[in-house]
Chains A and B, each alone.
Chain A
Amino acid sequence: MSNSNHPVTGLWQPSRRDFLQATLAAAGASLVNFSDLRVGAGELRPGGRSLILLWMAGGPSHLETFDPKPGHANGGPTEAIETAVPGIRIANGWEKTAGMLKDIAIVRSMNNKEGEHARATYQMHTGYVPTGTLRHPNVGTAIAKALTTEASDLPPVVSVGPTVGAGFLGVDYEPFVVQQPGELPRNVVGRVQGPRFDRRFSLLGRLEDQFASKGAEAVVAEHKQLYEKTRRMVQSERVKAFEFADESNDTKTLYGDSPFGKGCLLARRLVEAGVSYIEVRANGWDTHKDNFDAVKKLARTTDPAVAGLIYDLKQRGLLEKTLVVWMGEFGRTPKINPNTGRDHYPRAFNALLAGGGIKGGQVYGATSDDGATVKDNPTSIHDLLATVCKSLQVDPSIENLSPIGRPLKIVDGGKPIDALIS
């Protein structure tokens, strides 16, 4: 794909021709099978909505992403660049994302207190503080539960890389973890298929009943449920969504040839195939040392993938109903440490929201000139998660029951940010 730059801003803009080529190629390839799969995805989710979380594991520096502070000592060598929205400037290295900013809302006023990776990761995903006794569900899985009305052939939650699980929501919403985006998950294709597979599967069912009748009903019922789900997935045409065989090279290039880019492309395909919640993880954001070089390198793969995903979703008419969230577990210290790095900093960080019901082209909240404190419109984790729910038209106060029967809201506390929702 020839990435043309905007004549005035010099920003990257996918050209109309690029877009046409990309979609035609995709459509052509999908004549084989894939376009058929998309039909019907809507039935699984009546609203047709889904959530993609781009998870920057380690905690991305807000100063080197979407809240640069050039001119202040804390800003370091990072420069600010213009975006497609006049007046909004983000850090250099994010030129492609800058080009898509009309569709993106930047939240610059995230703040929290937890500065430890695992605990902050848990909090950002679940909206709860970790406890030893209760595993809270990843909010995305709870949203998937609310969005998915019928049993799908594919798991309703897929994660590229490990993530926080579905907690007490159980096996049905447990993320199906994919490590190699672009390839069929292992063992999805069996050596025995067709009628023989059905035959042996029904034999298994009959033998299972024997064990159940001896006092193992509970475990057999669970096991059967799991096997039924597995069978549906194995026999589903939709599993082809995991492979990129029918994607054009242009589309692949759009996302960038990186594991994270592939993860984002997979996310789009899974949205088309009816998956409600997809998380794509990018590692390496824990930049205690050489922060500036490290983020530059990360941006080289993250920027095209984020921008490409939003662009691609938009061109396919999926962006309206697909919310893309970009965030990590916290920000990084505005003061540069002696290793030219930045350390954990939960008091001020940023996040991106795009698509879904989000009003793009705006910045919400602001940090002080030194990037150390939130100046305007402080946004808590709960505010953000409630906004995520609302933009997908899921009521954040829906309660799920914990194993001991305690009702827990999807998001307990916080207020959806109306300014962000269109």
Chain B
Amino acid sequence: MGERFLQGVVMLATLRSWSLGLCLAGLFVSPLGAADKPTDKPAESPAKPTKADAAKKQVAPKSAPDKSSGDSKKKAAKPTAAKPTAAKPTAPKTPAADKPAAKKSPSQPTSDNKTTAAKKGKAKARAVAAKKGAAKNAAAKPQAQLAKTETPAQARAAMAQKSAEEAAPEQAKFTPFPRPAELPDPGQVAAELDQLLEANLKQAGVELAPPSGDEDFLRRVSFDLAGIAPSPEEVTLFGIDPDPDKRALLIDRLLRSDAYAENWARYWRDVLYARAVEQRARLGQQAFETWMAEQLKQNQSWADITTRLITATGDVSKEGSTALIYAQRAEPDEVASEVSRVFLGIQLQCANCHDHPSDQWKRDQFHALAAFFPRMFVRPIPGEKRTFAIASFTPDRRTGDPRADFARMISQAEDLVARLDRDSDGAVSEGEAKKAPGPFLARLFQQGDADKDGKLTADEIRKIPPPPLRGGRGTAEYFMPDLQNPQSVGTQFNPTFFLNGKSPGEGQPDLDRRVALAQYIVDPQNDAFSQAFVNRMWAQLLGEGFVMPVDDMGPERSARHPEVLAALSKQFTATGYDIRWLLKTIVATRAYQRQIRPKSAAENPPAFATALATRLRADQLYSAITRVLGVDDLGSAPGRPRQQGLARYGDNSPRGQFHQLFGFDPSTPPDEQLGNLPQALFLMNSTAVHSLIAGKGATRLSGILSRHTDNNDALQELYLHVLSRRPTEQELEICRGYIAEVKDRNDAFEDILWSLVNSTEFQTRR
């Protein structure tokens, strides 16, 4: 499915990005050039690891021993940690490849053999050598030895390429979620679900829509699983295939296809980027798509994918797993909201400012979740343009934690003056201020000197307003803002997971916090994790979920058919969160395979009694339209759109531009996924579509017209191409009448193809 980047695309520079504009993310696209600049360039440079940084890390309580043998005198790694933590073998001078990165037991019954970390060749060998758990505090010695025996060459290389090393920060280590040797039979589970569901529906006196015919099923399942429409040949062959298992076989084939991985990678890209607060988030889009497709192709468990997304570090344009964090600018509160929304189906962000109005969540719980994320930040990569890295911040005495340090400075104003006041005039001069611990006093001197006498008294120091608190830079700890006094430092919070009350403890390093949170989330005891995914997939495949919207499930929302959701979620957890198994099971249900059915105006049909027609996602529509028109890409039309502001950060391929026009947030319920004027204008009037629906030249239609002199035959083939079905007798009649009325066969067929491409049905999954 590679698409060429064609210069000279006519499409959509004028049009807004993403979503229908119903989404706030649209706000971040600049129309007129200069944009609000996010602050990724740390003004106070807490970013750069320094020697002091490393030293501090080594003595930090509970951080695992450092294997860098550089500063040996400070190497008093305390083996005091009572609880196991993931290893923290980070020292600035240690080359990335020299870390026991992927800590993976070969005995794990999983296909997980390509963690991003393990891809770094040598790390892989090491990973096997260093046994699972060895990275924990007891392993100081072996690691140090390994470092000695293996590193010289690498160390030299690393010295030579400091920037490369900086671009590859430490990777998280975690144990892949265990997978069972055998999976329950999807067909059988599907039948059980149907039984539960149909018992409910029958009790409610609802008549079920009949099973879909082969044509509808083939088109639906092809779009749903693989993101593409079936070809006319497939439609015909599937229809005449007498095999009673043909649907199951088709499902299998689709789930094994590359298109499956691509389709769902794009789906998840839309989910994560739709709510991006980082304007340039799309820098990482391609990397995410590639990475996610690879995870799906390998059928990595949802637990492991989740863990990687939560614990990602590295170059955002290379490490696709950084997408979620980078899209939220690594800001603790934004990432917390998104993690809760995407993985738990819980909208916690309302509790950012106040206790949740309708759910039970408290403001403290939200901020305790955000407290898992204070130490990560986005930083530029030296020598590299147009990319950034997600890195871990490690506090040390010099860079400190700006907020805590500032708070300390204010609270100790008297002591500070006493200590710094060399000339004993009761105040601190500008020269004296430079000797203060931390950068603040010197930096804020002018601002603090209210009476402009060139000196700061203790009183003046106390009144210095705190420096702006900006997220995304990494701080040692998380502070809940004081809404009454937004300028103040706020209240420090320790990480605690609101669903189980667990905490990794105070003062933990970045990755230890994030790995701990991921473990709490994917814990089989945590029903929310499994249910959120099951509900989301079910909704995506059936057009509505047990709970809608899929990213706002509760806890005080009641599910429809809760026992079906519970049963399927339980099985999904038992499979070790096997995505392919789940999709296979859902599409095997009778509920999935029903027809869409006319609903009487009075009736609001209960969920899942009938199939629902829903909009195709932008990528599905793009695949459909290019296939129908017989081209690899739209956009051979002249006239290149002008680059507008941040559009340059996006995917500028024809598909990317099409996506900017037709994309929407897949987490919004289908009845809110409405089309808009620019979309209709594009399909109706664009040069790209106009030139491709022509009846003359090297087009699809011209081929059909010259192959079939009989209009009925031509119409049959046209319908098979565009709608993956044969036309009904009525439709043939309408079209024949139209051809007779227009007289010019070529014009008439162009109009018919135009109508079909612009029809609801073409843009809908039926």
Q: Which residues 347-361 of B have a CB within 8 angstroms of A?
A: 347, 349-350, 353
Tell me if B731 is interfacial: C-beta within 8 Å of chain A: yes
Is the Cβ of A185 less than 8 Å from the Cβ of B731? no
Is the Cβ of B21 less than 8 Å from the Cβ of A174? yes
Contact of A179 among B27, B37, B644, B676 (CB under 8 A): B644
Contact of A286 among B17, B37, B277, B731 (CB under 8 A): B37
B33 surroundings in chain A (CB, below 8 A): 259, 283-284
Bound form: Cα–Cα A177–B209 in Å:
41
Is the Cβ of B486 less than 8 Å from the Cβ of A226? no
Is the Cβ of A284 less than 8 Å from the Cβ of B36? yes
Interface size class of A (residues with CB under 8 A): 35 or more
Bound form: Cα–Cα A176–B738 in Å:
34
Bound form: Cα–Cα A133–B341 in Å:
11
Tell me if A16 is interfacial: C-beta within 8 Å of chain B: no
Is the Cβ of B13 less than 8 Å from the Cβ of A179? yes
B20 surroundings in chain A (CB, below 8 A): 165, 171, 174
Is the Cβ of B353 less than 8 Å from the Cβ of A132? no
Is the Cβ of A226 less than 8 Å from the Cβ of B675? yes
The answer to whether A186 and B12 touch (CB under 8 A), given A177-B678, A346-B486, is yes
Query: Per-position contact with A for B1-44: 1 when CB-CB < 8 Å, else 0?
Result: 00000000001111111001111101111111111110100010
Q: How far is the CB of B349 from chain A (nearest CB, A)?
A: 6
Tell me if B364 is interfacial: C-beta within 8 Å of chain A: no
Q: Name which residue of chain B comes closest to A191, CB basis.
A: B690
A304 surroundings in chain B (CB, below 8 A): none
Q: Which residues 96-115 of A have a CB within 8 angstroms of B?
A: 113, 115
Is the Cβ of A122 less than 8 Å from the Cβ of B674? no
Is the Cβ of B690 less than 8 Å from the Cβ of A192? yes
Bound form: Cα–Cα A171–B22 in Å:
9
Contact of A196 among B443, B676, B686, B751 (CB under 8 A): B751
Contact of B680 among A129, A160, A230 (CB under 8 A): A230
Q: Name which residue of chain B comes closest to A344, CB basis.
A: B468
* Contact segment of A28-36, A206-214, A306-314: A206-214
Contact of B764 among A196, A217, A219 (CB under 8 A): A219
Tell me if B685 is interfacial: C-beta within 8 Å of chain A: yes
Contact of B766 among A135, A216, A223 (CB under 8 A): A216
The answer to whether A118 and B678 touch (CB under 8 A), given A191-B687, A216-B766, A284-B36, is no
Contact of B27 among A164, A199, A208 (CB under 8 A): A164
Is the Cβ of A214 less than 8 Å from the Cβ of B598? yes
Bound form: Cα–Cα A132–B681 in Å:
30
The answer to whether A177 and B15 touch (CB under 8 A), given A200-B751, A338-B444, is yes
B747 surroundings in chain A (CB, below 8 A): 196
Is the Cβ of B32 less than 8 Å from the Cβ of A282? yes
Is the Cβ of A171 less than 8 Å from the Cβ of B31? no
Tell me if A65 is interfacial: C-beta within 8 Å of chain B: no
Contact of A188 among B17, B447, B483, B685 (CB under 8 A): B685
Tell me if B682 is interfacial: C-beta within 8 Å of chain A: yes
Q: Which residues 640-659 of B have a CB within 8 angstroms of A?
A: 642, 644-645
Query: Per-position contact with B for A121-135: 1 when CB-CB < 8 Å, else 0?
Result: 110000001111101
A338 surroundings in chain B (CB, below 8 A): 43, 443-444, 447
A218 surroundings in chain B (CB, below 8 A): 613, 671
Is the Cβ of A215 less than 8 Å from the Cβ of B21? no
Tell me if A374 is interfacial: C-beta within 8 Å of chain B: no
Q: Name which residue of chain A comes closest to B728, CB basis.
A: A210
Is the Cβ of B760 less than 8 Å from the Cβ of A216? yes
Q: How far is the CB of A124 from chain B (nearest CB, A)?
A: 11
Bound form: Cα–Cα A288–B465 in Å:
16
Is the Cβ of B32 less than 8 Å from the Cβ of A165? no
B22 surroundings in chain A (CB, below 8 A): 135, 165, 167, 174
Tell me if A178 is interfacial: C-beta within 8 Å of chain B: yes
Q: How far is the CB of A335 from chain B (nearest CB, A)?
A: 6
Is the Cβ of A223 less than 8 Å from the Cβ of B675? yes
Q: Name which residue of chain A comes closest to B10, CB basis.
A: A186
Is the Cβ of A200 less than 8 Å from the Cβ of B677? no
Q: Name which residue of chain B comes closest to A210, CB basis.
A: B731
- In the complex, the 7 A-B pairs of residues with the closest C-beta atoms, listed nearest first: A161-B31, A190-B685, A132-B347, A215-B596, A200-B751, A187-B681, A230-B680
6 CB contacts below 8 A, A to B, read A161-B30, A162-B27, A163-B27, A165-B21, A233-B677, A288-B39
**B residues at A contact (CB < 8 Å):** 11-17, 20-24, 26-37, 39, 43, 209, 277, 341, 347, 349-350, 353, 443-444, 447, 452, 465, 467-468, 483, 486, 549, 551-552, 595-599, 610, 613-615, 642, 644-645, 671-672, 674-678, 680-682, 684-687, 690, 728, 730-731, 734, 738, 742, 747, 751-752, 754-756, 758-761, 763-764, 766
**A residues at B contact (CB < 8 Å):** 57-58, 73, 113, 115, 117-118, 121-122, 129-133, 135, 155, 160-165, 167, 170-171, 174-180, 183, 185-192, 196, 199-200, 203-204, 206-208, 210-220, 222-224, 226-227, 229-231, 233-234, 259-260, 263, 281-286, 288, 333, 335-339, 343-344, 346, 403
Known contacts A215-B596, A281-B32, A285-B36; 13 additional CB pairs below 8 A are A117-B36, A122-B27, A163-B27, A179-B31, A180-B642, A188-B681, A207-B759, A210-B731, A214-B598, A216-B760, A216-B761, A229-B677, A337-B447
